[in-house]
Amino acid sequence: LYETSRFYSNIATKSNSFNKTPYWNESFSFPIFDYFERFTKSQNIRKEYLLQTKNSVCNGKCVFCRSRKGHMLYRDVKDVFLEIEYAHTHYAIKKFFFTDEDIFDGPNQYAKERIDNLCDLIIDSGYIIAIKCYMKANDLSNVNEQDHLLLEKMNKAGVVVVFVGIESGSQDDLVLYQKG
């Protein structure tokens, strides 16, 4: 492992952990399409395609956690759409699941704009697809008109299921754990 870590900027070891960067495959590749090639288009229609819009790290500082810390790196929205388009047109996939832990990264305006842009691309394509994703309860506000419009646009683009996570019933616990 030490020999390998010398050549890769994202593999850290006990003796070689300086100047390491988070792993992110910048190339636009399709690593799992071979699974869909084994089936007909009529069989693929029932299958679900999983994808992510960013690297899977947490930028929180929870006192009990030591894993996946790092800087959030976002995929280009056009690349995410091209992956959806490719899966849909080549393999007849109609169900997509964004497996990002939180599609919005908390109440984050940049993430909302990214999702808004992605929805525009999907709507403009005319594709009839179904999308599932995760979000946290505080990502969108009931009193914010822009959030209502974004939810409507997400539904028009094909978002049919949103798993809403609730961190805690107690703000004191979140402060104690430094959940952020």
CA distance 115 to 102: 12
pLDDT at 24: 53
Residue 28's pLDDT band (boundaries 50, 70, 90)? very low
Torsion angle, alpha carbons of 18, 19, 23, 28, to 10: -160
Dihedral sign for Cα atoms in the order 154, 156, 160, 166: positive
pLDDT at 169: 73
For 137-178, the DSSP string reads TTSS-TT-HHHHHHHHHHHHHTEEEEEEE---S-HHHHHHHT
CA distance 115 to 126: 17
With a pLDDT cut of 90, the percent of the chain lying above it is 44
Strand-pairing partners, residue 136, are 165
CA distance 87 to 85: 6
**Does residue 70 surpass a pLDDT of 90?**
no
Contacts of range 123-126, beta carbons closer than 8 Å, 24 or more positions apart: 123/153, 123/156, 123/157, 125/81, 125/85
Residue 41's pLDDT band (boundaries 50, 70, 90)? very high
Give the chain's radius of gyration (CA, Å): 19
Q: Over the stretch 131-180, which tens digit does the pLDDT of each residue have?
A: 999 998 888 888 899 999 999 999 999 999 999 987 777 778 878 877 76
- Whole-structure pTM over 0.85, yes or no? no
Lowest mean pLDDT among 18-27, 30-39, 40-49, 111-120: 18-27
pLDDT at 33: 73
Q: Over the stretch 95-110, which tens digit does the pLDDT of each residue have?
A: 999 998 888 876 789 9
